[in-house]
Amino acid sequence: MAAIWWITTIGFVLCLGFVGGTFFHFLRNSLDSEDAKRVDKVDSDK
């Protein structure tokens, strides 16, 4: 019976890792300042 708790815990930790990794991946992409400079050029940057 204890094995099912270990499997459940490991699966839950893996799911949290996938969700957290996905969250941080898209968060870092959305906060990429180099992309903003490339897309929205200011006159002084030309």
Q: What is the pLDDT of residue 31?
A: 84
Tokens 């699966």 correspond to 11
Q: pLDDT tens digit string along 3-32? A: 999 999 999 999 999 999 999 999 988 887
Confidence of residue 36 (pLDDT cuts 50, 70, 90): low
24 close to 31: Cβ distance less than 8 angstroms: no
Could you tell me the pLDDT band of residue 39, with boundaries at 50, 70 and 90?
Answer: low
Question: How far is it, in rounded angstroms, from Cα 21 to Cα 31?
Answer: 15
- pLDDT value at position 4? 96
Confidence of residue 34 (pLDDT cuts 50, 70, 90): confident
Q: What angle do CA 12, 18, 19 make, to 5 degrees?
A: 90
* The token pair that represents 4 in the structure block: 């099912």
